[in-house]
Structure 1
Amino acid sequence: MSETLRLQQFALARHLRDPDRYPAPTGIEARRLGVYRALLYGAIESLLAGSFPVLRRTLGDKRWHARVQHFHANYRSDTPLFPEVAGVFVDYLLGIQLDAPWQAELAHYEWIESYLCLSDAEDPAHDPSGDLLQREPMLSCTARVLAYRWPVERICPEYQPNEAPASPTLLLVYRDRQLQVRFARLTPMAYRLLVQQEGTGLQRIRALGGELEQGLALLEHLRDQGVIIGSR
């Protein structure tokens, strides 16, 4: 590629993304440029609207389009893959000043569903029927244990909190054996049991001060759901 052509392509791309800041390249009809601008923005906006339907409805048309336009014009994404753009948008929200403090967490909550649904990760070697007390329980590679400051599962156009609750929202998100992504609330004990990275089931339960019978029942229940795949 010649240097002249490369510079022309960059000039066109800058204008299509942010026509208010970058002038149109010479030699291209204004009507045609308008069509290109609309197609490029429309593709990105449609993709993000499908990935974040609750965030889009909650922000409303004006705030949503302003957010997407700012992302489209200013954020540099290195991925050429459309399925990864939603994750890039979450990264963008984490790095800017937001007009509603729950936006980034709500976006992450919505994104994690599609991420786990499309994941092709494979579980490491494990014993599916292994002893969960005497050996180390292993979490499925398509399960995530999450803690949010904001009640992300409740936020909607009718509920937009201004202050975070005193207690975090603890959630388990996992892909079941039928390849459906499920969400479940966690008790503080269940959350702490699952986020521990090392130790046998017995060691984890004792470290939390929990009852052995209750802790084992929880581990076995999670294995039945496919959240825990067995022991190491």
Structure 2
Amino acid sequence: MQQQQALTRYLRDPDHQSPPADMNAARVNIYRDLVFNNVSQLLSGTFPVLIRIIGEQRWGLLVRGFLRDWRAQTPKFGEIAESFLDYLATQPQVIREGEWPAFLLELAHYEWVEMVLQQSDAQALPATDPALLLDRPLQISALAWPLAYAWPVHELDPNHQPATPPAQPTLLLVRRAADWSVKFSELSPLAWRLLQRITEFVSLTGREQLQGLAREAGQTASSSFMDNGLAMLREMHEDQVIGLAP
């Protein structure tokens, strides 16, 4: 038991822990490299843009810190990326002691969302009649996520790393299409708020949602506003982002 505990401590933190004295050093180091490389490879498929921006060396620091400091609660490979995201959100020692992009956590979350939607077991909304969008309560597909970020996460790459966030938040819709591809699109503030309202006020009809949206925006629910709102609902319905609530 003591040997196993010593080996575990060393595999997690080889920079500060000693390997078991009675184990072959070459074999122990093979285990060390296997553990690190396996975790790094599992995570790297989820965060490719982040890795290109920070580089392989600093990526290795994050993975090593994750192995050392975090106690994941899941044995499932698909959930390790979520544990890594939770780890980054705690502002761990490796983040506090280094110089990292201010957008690191938001970019990691944005990339993680794509993986989650690709692997989700959620079902698409059933087909419903778009002619009833104004007359019935609505629902949002579990495969469509409206998101808000301080940083333009969808534009970040090694050649575009702004030092400060823009004045306005970045509002995005990430959804899985019928062919299982993950689509990303920008949302207007009104469209983003409409999707929020559908989640918050589940009993309201589409017409009532648009009327409430107009009030929040300081506008009247004019025929022009309602026509534009209905066009927005129809587009979201066609893309299977929303449907009629059961």
- 1:75 aligns to what? 70
C-alpha deviation, 1:121, in angstroms: 2.2
Residue 170 of structure 1 contacts residue 187 of structure 1 at CA under 8 Å; is this kept in 2?
A: yes
Alpha-carbon distance between aligned partners in 1 of 2:168 and 2:231, rounded to the nearest angstrom: 25
Alpha-carbon distance between aligned partners in 2 of 1:212 and 1:116, rounded to the nearest angstrom: 32
Indicate the SS of the match to 2:153: coil
> Could you tell me which amino acid in structure 2 is paired with residue 19 of structure 1?
P
C-alpha deviation, 1:109, in angstroms: 0.6
Residue 124 of structure 2 contacts residue 240 of structure 2 at CA under 8 Å; is this kept in 1?
A: no
- Any residues of structure 2 matched to 1:6-21 within 5 Å, and which? 7-21=2-16
Structure 1 runs (4+) deviating above 3 angstroms are none
| Correspondence for 2:53 among 46, 58, 64 | 58
Residue 123 to residue 8, structure 1, CA distance change in 2 (3 Å) = farther
> Could you tell me which amino acid in structure 2 is paired with residue 41 of structure 1?
F
- 1:43 correspondence with 2:38: yes
Alpha-carbon distance between aligned partners in 2 of 1:33 and 1:69, rounded to the nearest angstrom: 17
| Correspondence for 1:213 among 219, 224, 227 | 227
- 1:200 aligns to what? 205
> Could you tell me which amino acid in structure 2 is paired with residue 188 of structure 1?
P
What TM-score, normalized to structure 1? 0.91
Residue 107 to residue 93, structure 1, CA distance change in 2 (3 Å) = same
C-alpha deviation, 1:123, in angstroms: 6.0
Supply the RMSD in Å over aligned alpha carbons.
Answer: 1.7
Alpha-carbon distance between aligned partners in 1 of 2:36 and 2:161, rounded to the nearest angstrom: 27
Residue 135 of structure 1 contacts residue 231 of structure 1 at CA under 8 Å; is this kept in 2?
A: yes
- 1:138 correspondence with 2:127: no
Which moved further from structure 2: 168-177 or 17-26? 17-26
- 2:168 aligns to what? 167
- 1:182 aligns to what? 183
| Correspondence for 1:96 among 91, 97, 112 | 91
> Could you tell me which amino acid in structure 1 is paired with residue 128 of structure 2?
P
User: Which runs of no fewer than 5 residues in structure 2 stay unpaired?
Assistant: 215-220
Report percent identity of matched pairs: 40
C-alpha deviation, 1:50, in angstroms: 1.4
What TM-score, normalized to structure 2? 0.87
- 1:231 aligns to what? 245
> Could you tell me which amino acid in structure 2 is paired with residue 202 of structure 1?
R
Alpha-carbon displacement from aligned partner over 1:24-52 (angstroms, at most 9, x marks no partner): 12311110111000000000111111111
